[in-house]
Amino acid sequence: MKRVLLSAAALLIGAIGFAQTNDSSVSSTGNNNGATVSQTGSINNSTIRQVGDFNVSNVTSVGRNNNSTTGQVDQRNTSTVNQVGSNQTSRVNQGQISSNGNISRLGRDNTSTVSQVGERNTSVVFQRDSNVLIGEFNDSGVSQDGVRNVSDVSQQGDRNFSRLGQNGDDNNSDLDQTGSDNRGVVRIFGSENTTKIDQLGDRNNSVIESTGGDLNNILVDQDGDDNSALVDVKGGSNDVDVIQLGNGNNAGDDFLPGDGANIIGSDNIIMIEQIGDDNDGFARITGDDNETYTYQTGNGNTSFSDQVGDLNESTVTQTGDSNTANIDQGVMGTTSLDSLSNLLQLGNMNRATVLQTGTTQISAITQTGNGNMANVSQSN
């Protein structure tokens, strides 16, 4: 009996020795800063560092092995992090403190909210100045529900707005905004999707929504001012690229049929590239295995591409000013299958319209000069 009691005591001592605890570090320098940390579970780690006045940080971790790092510099920054699950990683920087302890970037009146539910999700949010002025009134909200999702948000400047999402597994989203008054919204509810928004300039707007599908790749790159891009994808394995260099370019500002880069189907490709000012490029696909490409260089050009059916391909290239192109491969109620259309306009104020319905239609239009007009209608 004595030997048994000694063994039980040894087991109890070992259990205490290997107890797994939560760690929290809070450092506030300045006036009227507030920090709240709530950790329930085991091996959760939280670090909060605040330098300045009236900064508020809240961290809640429920689960195991979650890690959170929050840094806020200057005034009236607010950060809220909620992590439920295990092996989550969150980093929020509003302003920046360099490795030697000096303040290198400033943030003021910024707000960040991060919520992760699941396992092994990673979120990074940077909101700060652009090396010229204090970064103010930036707002970012990240919510990841699932496993192994990765999101990276960087906002430099003033009054930038960002919302993410991601509800499935293994999604990867990257949102970078440099300038002022930019807006970026990403919503993804499937798995293994990749999205990237890169906006440089002022008053740029981008909305990406990929609902329910998997393996979509979406890129929006806008460099300039007052550009707008919208992507709405319902399906899987689609590729959408929107590149706009200049000012006042538009690739869709709402979800109306025919506006934006809009896909309902799978294995489709949309490419819209606009270089110049005040260009409009719209593409809409309903079906599978379609491809549509739009390239516009100049000012005030407009292109509409609409595909209803499968295996269609269209290319619009416009170089010059005030050109207009409209390609319809299939219309609602009448589809197109395996049709091809190429449209090239070099010059100014040229107009071209293509309508293809039925099977295996082929059209090629080339217009060089100014004020030309072409209309093609094919069916069987």
Higher pLDDT, residue 58 or 253: 58
Q: How confident is the model at residue 109 (pLDDT cuts 50, 70, 90)?
A: confident
Q: What pLDDT, on the 0 to 100 scale, is given for residue 3?
A: 40
Residues near 219 by Cβ (< 8 Å), separated by ≥ 6?
195, 196, 240, 241, 242, 243
Distance, CA of 238 to CA of 154 (rounded, Å): 26
Question: What are the CA-CA distances from residue 348 to residues 29, 274, 341, 354, 370 (Å)?
Answer: 61, 16, 21, 19, 5
Residues near 141 by Cβ (< 8 Å), separated by ≥ 6?
112, 113, 114, 162, 163, 164
Residue 2 clears pLDDT 80, i.e. is over it: no
Over the chain, what is the mean pLDDT?
A: 89
pLDDT digits (tens, 9 = 90+) for 220-230: 999 999 999 99
Q: What pLDDT, on the 0 to 100 scale, is given for residue 376?
A: 98
3-state secondary structure of 8: helix
Distance, CA of 60 to CA of 68 (rounded, Å): 9
- The region that residue 3 occupies, defined by phi over 0 for left and psi between -120 and 50 for alpha, beta otherwise, is alpha
pLDDT digits (tens, 9 = 90+) for 156-169: 888 999 999 999 99
212 sits in which H/E element: none
Mean pLDDT for the stretch of residues 111-115: 94
pLDDT digits (tens, 9 = 90+) for 122-165: 999 998 776 556 668 889 999 999 999 999 999 988 899 999 99
Phi, psi of 38 (to 5 degrees): -130, 115
Residue 358 clears pLDDT 90, i.e. is over it: yes
Higher pLDDT, residue 133 or 117: 117
Residues near 72 by Cβ (< 8 Å), separated by ≥ 6?
49, 50, 51, 52, 55, 57, 79, 92, 93, 94, 95, 107
Alpha helix segments (H runs only) across the chain = 2-17
pLDDT digits (tens, 9 = 90+) for 7-41: 333 433 444 344 578 999 999 999 999 999 999 99
Question: What are the CA-CA distances from residue 357 to residues 36, 68, 262, 290, 336 (Å)?
Answer: 63, 56, 20, 14, 5
Q: What pLDDT, on the 0 to 100 scale, is given for residue 4?
A: 37
pLDDT digits (tens, 9 = 90+) for 193-202: 999 999 999 9
Place of tokens 């992760």: 116
Residues near 102 by Cβ (< 8 Å), separated by ≥ 6?
none
| Inter-residue contact 144 to 117 (CB < 8 Å) | yes
Residue 269 clears pLDDT 50, i.e. is over it: yes
Q: What pLDDT, on the 0 to 100 scale, is given for residue 251?
A: 87
| Inter-residue contact 185 to 192 (CB < 8 Å) | no
Least confident range from 109-113, 286-290, 301-305: namely 109-113
